Amino acid sequence: MTIQVLKPKYHVEECLEQIRECLEIGWTGLGFKTVEFEDKWKEYTGHEQAHFLNSATVGLHLAVEILKKENGWENGDEVITTPITFVSTNHAILYEKLVPRFADVDEYLCLEPEDVKRKINEKTRAIIFVGYGGRVGKLDEIIKICKDHNLKLILDAAHMSGTRVNGIMPGTWDGVDVTVYSFQAVKNLPTADSGMICFKDKHYDEVCRKLTWLGINKDTYARNSGTKGSYKWKYDVEYLGYKDHGNSIMAAIGLVELQYLDETNAYRRELAKCYDGIFAKEPKIQVIGAPYADECSYHIYEIAVDNRDGLLEFLQKHDIYAGVHYRDNTEYEMYAYDHGKCPNAHVMSNKILTVPLHMHLTKDDVEMIANKVVEFVNAC
């Protein structure tokens, strides 16, 4: 049996039933299911605003763009961010002609607050905090830094669907200006691809909805369902916008999988504990821990070993396909200007390995995988 590092599990018949409803009614685009999914997401998370998008990547871009426009940031201003993330986090900053300023990571592979403070200067306008693997890290300290320095805070919650702290979703905390979630194919709440952007400020949400529909000030669904009279086709174009909104087919899948998110996250935590129990006895294996582990979504489970690439090859020989999340972004040419300024991130980037963690695995599978890891590191 081949074991993949990430593999979604859909409730297929229920998803098909929801999709069939879209097809039979004849409404598969913006509106109908997207509105329903936004409402359900707000109910589930506690966010006051939620707008369904075609990906989390466009959500990050919109977060940066809208904060820049609405707060008068200038080209060349800086946003403090992490080097241990998928490049979409940092591309979102470059899209708006701002400068990603990289701060180091802590033991959770999230932003390290003290280094964040060192990176703040007169051009700093915001911080992007990535909830790596669903971990909340030291988000509370980052929020305080933002308040002390009058900075905006973007929470990249691509891995955090379902993560809580004492029952509360971190994206709803006071001090978080905007939160972006991912429902990409292998995420905890999977669709083919989509995301959700949740602004604290209602005005920003209103701007966002126009930008995601090419700058048009009234979407097709609103014109068909809420406008009276013979001029339903009339609208204005207020912004140079994009085609970034989500569609009802993806929302239909999301509506089904949202019902199971807490259940599946609970199972992920059980599998993580199985790994923990085996790896805790092995001094050559460093487990990347999680604060509030009993409420973490555990999108990915990370370990760090000295011969990471050798371990990857060894596991592949046994049909176990682990992964690496992520390469230090300052090793990429476009971000090389900050290379060497985040020493812990650089070291960990060459050691971290993502072991398989998904709903198709049994605890016996996890024990087998963990024992193969132990076998390799002890033979080195």
In terms of domains, do 181 and 279 share one?
A: no
What's 181's DSSP letter? E
Name the phi and psi angles at 99, rounded to 5: -110, 120
Residue 7 lies in a domain: no
Tell whether the model's pLDDT for residue 223 goes beyond 80: no
pLDDT tens column, 160-189: 999 999 999 999 999 999 999 999 999 999
Strand order in the sheet with 124-130: 51-53, 195-199, 178-182, 152-157, 124-130, 78-81, 99-102
| Res. 65 pLDDT band, cuts 50 70 90 | very high
For residues 299 and 162, what is the distance between their CA atoms, to the nearest angstrom? 10
| Res. 338 pLDDT band, cuts 50 70 90 | very high
104 Cβ contact partners less than 8 Å away, ≥ 6 residues apart: 83, 111, 112, 115, 341, 342, 343, 344, 345
In terms of domains, do 224 and 277 share one?
A: no
Residue 4 lies in a domain: no
CB of 214 closer than 8 Å to CB of 195: no
Q: Which pLDDT score, from 0 to 100, does residue 336 have?
A: 98
Average pLDDT over residues 281-290: 97
Measured over the CA atoms of residue 263, residue 264, residue 269 and residue 270, the dihedral's sign is: positive
pLDDT tens column, 68-91: 999 999 999 999 999 999 999 999
In terms of domains, do 180 and 94 share one?
A: yes
| Res. 1 pLDDT band, cuts 50 70 90 | confident
Percent of the chain, pLDDT > 90? Answer: 94
CB atoms closer than 10 angstroms to residue 267: 16
| Res. 221 pLDDT band, cuts 50 70 90 | low
Percent of the chain, pLDDT > 70? Answer: 96
Angle at 133 between CA 132 and CA 138, to 5 degrees: 45
Residue 215 lies in a domain: yes
Domain boundary among 232, 258, 284: 258
Residue 319 lies in a domain: yes
In terms of domains, do 237 and 317 share one?
A: no
Distances (CA, A) of 169 to 41, 51, 114, 162, 290: 12, 17, 24, 7, 15
Residue 87 CA neighbour count, 13 Å, CB half: 11
- State the residue range of the domain holding 269: 261-379
Chain-wide mean pLDDT for the chain?
A: 96
Residue 6 lies in a domain: no
In terms of domains, do 61 and 141 share one?
A: yes
Tell whether the model's pLDDT for residue 234 goes beyond 90: no
Residue 158 lies in a domain: yes
For residues 90 and 60, what is the distance between their CA atoms, to the nearest angstrom? 9
Q: Which pLDDT score, from 0 to 100, does residue 225 have?
A: 57
Q: Which pLDDT score, from 0 to 100, does residue 153 have?
A: 99
Q: Which pLDDT score, from 0 to 100, does residue 114 have?
A: 98
Q: Which pLDDT score, from 0 to 100, does residue 224 have?
A: 60
In terms of domains, do 367 and 307 share one?
A: yes
Tell whether the model's pLDDT for residue 325 goes beyond 80: yes
90 Cβ contact partners less than 8 Å away, ≥ 6 residues apart: 81, 100, 329, 335
In terms of domains, do 176 and 287 share one?
A: no
- Calculate the dihedral angle through the C-alpha atoms of 100, 103, 108, 113, rounding to the nearest 10 degrees: -120
Q: Which pLDDT score, from 0 to 100, does residue 322 have?
A: 98
Helix (H) or strand (E) holding 173: none
CATH of the domain at 322: 3.90.1150.10
CATH of the domain at 181: 3.40.640.10
| Res. 271 pLDDT band, cuts 50 70 90 | very high
- Which pTM was predicted? 0.96
Angle at 376 between CA 371 and CA 380, to 5 degrees: 145
CB atoms closer than 10 angstroms to residue 40: 16
Distances (CA, A) of 223 to 31, 213, 250, 301: 11, 13, 22, 45
Count up the domains in the chain and report the number.
2
pLDDT tens column, 114-155: 999 999 999 999 999 999 999 999 999 999 999 999 999 999
Question: Minimum mean pLDDT among 108-117, 211-220, 256-265, 349-358: which range?
Answer: 211-220
For residues 45 and 34, what is the distance between their CA atoms, to the nearest angstrom? 16
176 Cβ contact partners less than 8 Å away, ≥ 6 residues apart: 143, 153, 155, 170, 200
> Which stretches does DSSP call E strand in the chain?
51-53, 78-81, 99-102, 124-130, 152-157, 178-182, 195-199, 286-287, 301-304, 352-355
CB atoms closer than 10 angstroms to residue 50: 21
| Res. 220 pLDDT band, cuts 50 70 90 | low
Q: Which pLDDT score, from 0 to 100, does residue 222 have?
A: 61
Average pLDDT over residues 197-207: 98
CB of 109 closer than 8 Å to CB of 288: yes
